Amino acid sequence: MKYLLPLFALLCLAAPAWSRTLDQLVDVEGVRTNQLTGYGIVVGLPGTGDGSQAKYTAQSIKNMLNQFGVRMPDNASLRARNVAAVTVSATFPPGYRKGQTIDITVSSLGDAKSLRGGTLLMTPLRAVDGETYALAQGNVVVPGVTASGRGGSSVAINTATAGRIPNGGTIEREIETDFDLAPTVRLNLKRPSFQTATNIVETINRQFGANTASTADGTSVDIAMPPGSGSRVAFVARLQRLQVDQAAEPPKVVFNSRTGTVVISQGVTVKPAVVSHGPLKVTIDESLEVSQPNALSRGQTAVVPHSTVDVAQRGGHAFHWKQGANLQAIVDTINAIGATPDDLMAILQALSEAGALNAELEVI
């Protein structure tokens, strides 16, 4: 782990405050992405589809055949290992029109082993209002692979039960927006901040005149269309190119519990503190002993369980940081003993609970 921790300083060299274009700080209300989802079936699998336990897969096959005029008996039992039931998801970009294509993601819903080599049949994609906005179909591209032997051993690379279809969805219905009808344009901050919202208002008013922009909170900015500004699209394009000073954000430490990655932002400091941290090893040994009675005691031989518990704490380290120790000093101290990310998170958690850390801790 010694090679990992020095990367913390390289990952987060951002200054406390910096200038960014307005389109990096805000989203235009009414111009947003929408999520689409659907249910479909993938065919053409080489025996890696759903098993007999997935009853809905058999029902889906019957429904599909009925649409093509093939009537299946009600009591017919289908076991098509070349077919898999899947969920299909996609993102509807803002402003897309009929006929444009989007990428879609296909994920197995049943117990299919792999979707490699399969083809998704035509699947309607619906939004939260239940209306169909796109149709999906195409060959599934699966980056993962899996293999197993008869003895139960297996190997897997990435995920073979999920894949993508580039440009596999076609827009069939447009999502209406009031962007060109509302009397004002509202900008929603991606990271709400009173200071950033104030900076945006001041920058826009300097460029386009007083009272052009206003804000009532730290999450949005309302902009009135100034006279002679031309088309609304061109005006918003000019807005997005403006340089705005983003407010300084509080230092933060993010710990990813799934991967064990710890990211520390610039500006993290500690108060004078001493932290002692070391591994605690608990060993429990279970064994069986035979209890043999003495001669003429009329006792019976018995097997008695015996447990031995040993607790050992070795390799403990004490960390001492002076007033205002910065990120580099913290990283250097941790690297000196070869601590793991889990050790680092435990130390930072202890500093935070003691009030000696000026950063926010976030676990994802």
- 21-61 pLDDT, tens digit per residue, is 888 888 888 788 889 999 999 998 888 877 766 677 777 87
Whole-number Cα distances in Å, 167 to 31, 99, 140, 223, 275: 21, 11, 11, 36, 54
Query: Can you tell me the distance from the alpha carbon of 262 to that of 305, in angstroms, rounded to the nearest whole number?
Result: 44
The residue among 1 and 152 whose pLDDT is bigger is 152
Residue 317 within any structural domain of the chain: yes
**Ramachandran bin of 324, using left for φ above 0, alpha for ψ from -120 to 50, beta for the remaining angles:** left
pLDDT in tens, 140-166: 998 866 665 555 555 666 678 889 999
Confidence at 135, pLDDT banded by 50, 70, 90: very high
pLDDT band at 90 (very low <50, low <70, confident <90, very high): very high
Number of domains present in the structure of the chain: 3
Question: Is residue 293 domain-shared with residue 329, that is, in the same domain?
Answer: yes
- Of residues 267 and 239, more confidence is placed in 239
The radius of gyration of the chain's CA atoms, rounded to the nearest angstrom, is 31
Q: Which two tokens stand for residue 158?
A: 């990435």
Residue that terminates a domain, selected from 246, 267, 294: 246
Angstrom distance (rounded) from CA 263 to CA 341: 10
Q: Is position 213 within any domain?
A: yes
Is residue 297 domain-resident?
yes
Kindly report the average pLDDT of the chain as a whole number: 76
Q: Name the residue range of residue 268's domain.
A: 253-363
3-state secondary structure of 134: strand
Q: From residue 270, how far is each of 242, 321, 325 by CA, in Å?
A: 37, 7, 6
Both 71 and 125 in one domain: the answer is yes
Q: Which two tokens stand for residue 75?
A: 């009591």
Sequence-ordered strand ranges (E) for 24-131:
26-28, 34-43, 84-92, 101-108, 119-126
Q: Select the more confidently predicted residue: 88 or 95.
A: 88
Q: 336 CB contacts (<8 Å, ≥6 apart)?
A: none
- Provide φ and ψ at 176, rounded to 5°: -70, 150
Q: Does residue 144 fall inside a structural domain? A: yes
Report whether 270 contacts 306 (CB < 8 A): no
Q: Residue 103 corresponds to which tokens in the numbers above? A: 């990428």
Q: How confident is the model at residue 235 (pLDDT cuts 50, 70, 90)?
A: confident
Same domain, 201 and 162: no
Among 102-106, 109-113, 255-259, the range of highest mean pLDDT: 102-106
Please indicate, yes or no, whether residues 148 and 107 belong to a single structural domain of this protein. Answer: yes
Same domain, 154 and 195: no
Is residue 17 assigned to a domain? no
Cα–Cα distance measured from residue 284 to residue 278, given in angstroms and rounded to the nearest whole number: 20
CA distance 45 to 110: 14
- 320 shares a domain with 215: no
Do residues 40 and 161 both lie within one domain? yes
For residue 200, the one-letter residue type is I
Write down the pTM of the prediction.
0.58
Considering the domain architecture, whether residues 206 and 239 belong to the same structural domain is answered as yes
224 and 117 assigned to the same domain:
no
| H-helix or E-strand spanning residue 67 | helix 55-67
pLDDT at 3 (0 to 100): 38
Helix (H) / strand (E) element for 232: namely helix 232-240
Same-domain status, 267 and 141: no
Phi, psi of 35 (to 5 degrees): -95, 135
Is 28 among the domain residues? Answer: no
> Is 80 among the domain residues?
yes
Residue where one domain finishes, among candidates 139, 171, 203:
171
Look up residue 92 and give its amino acid: F
Digit-coded pLDDT (tens) for 120-133? 999 999 999 899 99
Domain membership of residue 210 (yes or no) is yes
